[in-house]
Structure 1
Amino acid sequence: MIVDVALPLSLAFIMFSLGFGLTPADFGRVLTMPKAVATGVVMQIVAVPLTAFVLLQLFNLPPALAFGVMLLSFCPGGVTSNVLTKLGAGNVALSITLTAVVSLLSVVTVPLLVSWAASAFLEAEAPDINVTSIAIAMFAITVLPVLLGLGMRKLAAAKAEKLERVMSRVAVVLFAVIVFAAIGTNWVLITENFAHLGPFFVSMNILLLVVGVLVARVIGLSGADGICIAIEMGVQNAALGIAVAGLVANAAGITEYAVPSALYGIIMYLVTIPAIFILRRLFNPVSVPGRGMT
């Protein structure tokens, strides 16, 4: 019961902190840097799930875990992607915009893609997927908190910068709590499948980072934009993946479908943090100053 209440509330606060960290300029970048924003959105919504799907054809994962991998791949960038983008000398302003835009779009894209993935990977074992119900629930725990955060920032404009830092730190702590709670709840299942899931996620994370940088380079974006897009692809909102798994299963607690999101919530940092320093040296991006970090 505690988990069922704490999980959506924690995710809602994480999304509220995202909204509180946004300004009109973050959405204005859709018009001022359309090529970079459009590329980042397409790579996040299309290329990440496609990469996960292709890799699943090469790895022999149980259907429930394969479905959980796809759930994770449908999620937007993680709450710390902006921090990691700054660390990698990427375009922080672009990172903030992409996180916001893809998070808002996810209320439409995730339910539809989840319905397809359930049929493709679970087949006869697939639970009944109510796309509308999932969309409404996602709106309540993602879009609504973001909008409330935007409104609260306007009301607390004088103290916004200080409050933003505090909320960002709390959001990161809550994210860690959600991930570790999911791991603890499914510890036996994780240890039984780690030999498969571990190599799978390391491969997936590296591939996403490399593809993000290379695509950006091929179409003529700057090195800083490429680093940003790569990190947005490689660092997923695992907390949302865990929450969506619960919505799909319509069951109490943290379900089996949430295991991939929980495990990736740790692996993505172990891979991404050293990788961004390598990418930074290889592509020598010129860091673009950001307004701040969410």
Structure 2
Amino acid sequence: MDFAIQVILPAAQAFIMFSLGLGLTLADFGRVFRGGKALLIGIVCQIVLLPIVAFGIVSGFDLPPVLAAGAMLVAFCPGGVSSNVITKLARGDLALAVSLTAVTSLIAFMTVPPLAALAIVHFMGEAAPEFSISNLAVFTFVLTTVPVMTGVLVRHVFAAFSIRVEKFLSNLAVILWLILLVFLFVGNWDLVARTFEMMGPALLLLPFVLMVMGWGAGRLLGVSRTQSKTLSIETSIQNSPLGVALAGAIMGTTAGISELALPSGLYSITMYVVALPAILLFRRIDGAENSQAGMAPASS
């Protein structure tokens, strides 16, 4: 189990981020600087508002300290790779989704470690494990920024090959994470069940509130419905594999998965429980709008 947490899990996370980078081109990074209002809203939602909302929910549910810290840890993580797939299914702005995921992943090594340190000390107090913020930053850099940029480089140099294997590797990355998640859960089922009983409602409420917040921020600040859908999804879908890997790095070698990692693992499930109905709702909204447009009388 220790080998899976300390070696296989970080390797799987790096592979997931490599598959993300393989789907990016240099033009995608150019779009980041031209992204305008929607991209800026997404970054603020992800890096600033999301942790604030998570802190409020975690504090309101009065969770055990280590679980509260673990919930904050996943809230600090960048957007998940699967958010791009969900955005496509919801008929959102895929280019915006890719740009947001790329930006938050590339800067995660600067944003996640100090916030994680603050949350762990705040909630766990004297029971907080000792760890180096700089070492955690290096660990995050190796697991996120390096593989993403490697994927971008491979895409740039071997474009035709990358396009052929991109979808396969992306699907493989998701399957790999699911297998690893099942392995970790089955090996610690009693602990997982107790944890979900304590914090299941909080981990279901969090993605729901985040999804509403992303949508509301987009509509309130005047971006399109399509971009607002993307903001809703990108704000609520987190890179939970990174959260589990970071928890393992913070807690060190333990007998099985640590309690600090469990909120990230469980969020892998609860965020999709909320996201899947949202996809259907977004598609229904599109369908209703298209029907109304088709029924509208032609102007003379």
TM-score by length of 1: 0.93
Residues 111-166 of structure 1: CA deviation (Å, up to 9, x unaligned) = 01011001110011011131100011111111111111111112211222111111
For residues 157-196 of structure 1, the aligned pairs below 5 Å read: 157-196=159-198
Question: Unmatched 5+ residue regions in structure 1?
Answer: 288-294
- CA–CA separation in structure 1 for the residues paired with 2:181 and 2:130: 26
Secondary structure in 2 matching 1:257: coil
Among 255, 268, 272, the residue aligned to 1:269? 272
Are the counterparts in 2 of residues 15 and 142 from structure 1 also a CA contact under 8 Å? yes
Instruction: Give 1:183 shift.
Output: 2.1
The residue aligned with 2:43 is 41
Does structure 1 residue 2 correspond to structure 2 residue 34?
Answer: no
Aligned length: 287
**1:256 aligns with one of 251, 255, 259:** 259
| Shift, 1:284, TM fit | 7.2
For residue 147 of structure 2, give the secondary structure of its aligned residue in structure 1.
helix
2:64 paired residue among 62, 65, 84? 62
Aligned pair partner of 1:75 in 67, 74, 77: 77
Instruction: Please tell me the residue identity of whatever aligns with 2:190.
Output: V
Distance 1:267 1:223 in 2: 25
Q: State the AA in 1 paired with 2:163.
A: E
Q: Does 1:152 align with 2:154?
A: yes
> Offset of 1:280 from its aligned partner?
4.3
Letter aligned with residue 209 of structure 1: M
Question: Distance between the aligned counterparts of 2:208 and 2:147, measured in 1?
Answer: 32
Does structure 2 retain, via aligned residues, the 8 Å contact 1:29–1:37?
A: no
Q: Is the 8 A contact 2:26 2:152 kept in 1?
A: no
**2:26, 2:156 within 8 Å by CA — same for their partners in 1?**
no
Q: Once the two structures are aligned, what percentage of the paired residues are identical?
A: 42
The question of whether the paired residues in 2 share the 8 Å contact of 1:20 and 1:153 is answered with yes
Q: Which letter does structure 1 place at the counterpart of 2:28? A: D
Corresponding position of 1:26: 28
Runs of 4 or more consecutive aligned structure 1 residues displaced over 6 Å after TM superposition: 283-287
Which of 121, 124, 138 pairs up with 2:123? 121
Distance 1:261 1:11 in 2: 13
The Cα of 1:182 is off from its aligned counterpart by 3.0
Paired with 1:282 and 1:217, the residues of 2 have a C-alpha distance of: 14
Are the aligned partners of 1:19 and 1:148 in contact in 2 as well (CA < 8 Å)? yes
SS class of match (2:261): helix
Displacement, 1:172? 0.8
**TM-score where L is the length of structure 2:** 0.91
- Residue identity in the other structure for 1:144: V
**What is the DSSP-based 3-state SS (H/G/I as helix, E as strand, rest coil) of the residue aligned with 2:60?**
coil
1:77 touches 1:232 (CA, 8 Å); kept in 2? yes
Residue identity matched to 1:122: M
**What is the Cα-based RMSD across aligned positions, in Å?**
1.8
Query: Is 214-223 or 137-146 further displaced after alignment?
Result: 137-146
- Given that 2:195 and 2:262 are in contact with CA atoms closer than 8 Å, whether structure 1 keeps it comes out as no
